[in-house]
Amino acid sequence: MKVSMMRTIKKQAGFSLIELLIALTLFSAVVTIVSGVVLAMVDANAKAQNIQLITNNLTFALDSMSREIRTGFYYYCRSNEIATPGVTETRDCSNGGRFMSIVEAGDSLTAGNATPRIDYFYDDDYYTDYNGDSYGAILRRFDDGNGWVPLTADNVRITNAEFIVTGSTRGDDVQPSVTIFIEGEAGDFEGIESSFSVQTTVVQRIIDV
């Protein structure tokens, strides 16, 4: 009877210290790997959302500018300063400029204004982030003295933007073209910003009505 009890007690013995250490080591390794995968997925998701923000906002901004520029007249560009060109005044910016102006085809946006011009400007000191640092935005105004309105949102940091205008002064036989170059980053949290660089070219297309 005693021998049977001793055998039963031996069979019910627990894990040894070495076995526990090995189990804890394996468990810690698995937790570390899983945590790394989860953090990587969270980071990838945040970057994907930032890219979506970039795409949506820049698509809106570029579509708006491209549509107005494509059908506009009397292209005018300057390197840095904001100008107030005359209605029929033109000026190229073959080396790139931060200010551009066109005369609208029609009056759907500029009806009742002093001039039919639409102006665009890259202001590199328009927004301020949570750290107090300034960053840029692309602005638009209708030449009626009501001020500038941003086309790019505050979570899209524009670090550089240029308008390259050619052919505006060559006469009716040459169609002017505008290349819009934008670069920057998007992201509200440090370490997950997504950088981008966008370029598109718009050629004047006069509407035959």
Q: What is the pLDDT of residue 110?
A: 86
Q: With 90 as the cut, is the pLDDT of residue 113 above it?
A: no
The domain total for the chain is 1
Task: Considering only residues 124 and 130, tell me which one the structure prediction assigns the higher pLDDT.
Answer: 124
Q: What is the pLDDT of residue 43?
A: 72
> What ranges make up the beta strands (E) of 110-176?
117-128, 134-142, 149-150, 156-166
Q: What is the pLDDT of residue 208?
A: 45
Answer yes or no: is 134 within a domain: yes
Name the β-bridge partners of 195. Answer: 185
> What residue numbers bound the domain in which 79 lies?
41-203
Q: What is the pLDDT of residue 209?
A: 42
Answer yes or no: is 190 within a domain: yes
Answer yes or no: is 28 within a domain: no
Which range (26-30, 74-78, 98-102) has the least confidence? Answer: 26-30
Handedness of CA 61, 62, 64, 69 (dihedral sign): positive
Answer yes or no: is 29 within a domain: no
Answer yes or no: is 17 within a domain: no
Answer yes or no: is 155 within a domain: yes
Answer yes or no: is 13 within a domain: no
Task: Considering only residues 15 and 102, tell me which one the structure prediction assigns the higher pLDDT.
Answer: 102
Q: What is the pLDDT of residue 141?
A: 93
Q: What is the pLDDT of residue 177?
A: 92
Q: pLDDT class for 55, splitting at 50, 70, 90?
A: confident
- Residue pair 186/53 in contact (Cβ under 8 Å)? The answer is yes
Q: What is the pLDDT of residue 102?
A: 94
In the chain, the percentage of residues whose pLDDT exceeds 70 is: 80
Q: pLDDT class for 189, splitting at 50, 70, 90?
A: low
Answer yes or no: is 16 within a domain: no
Can you tell me the mean pLDDT for 54-65? Answer: 84
Q: What is the pLDDT of residue 35?
A: 80
Q: How far apart are CA 103 and CA 4, in angstroms?
A: 104
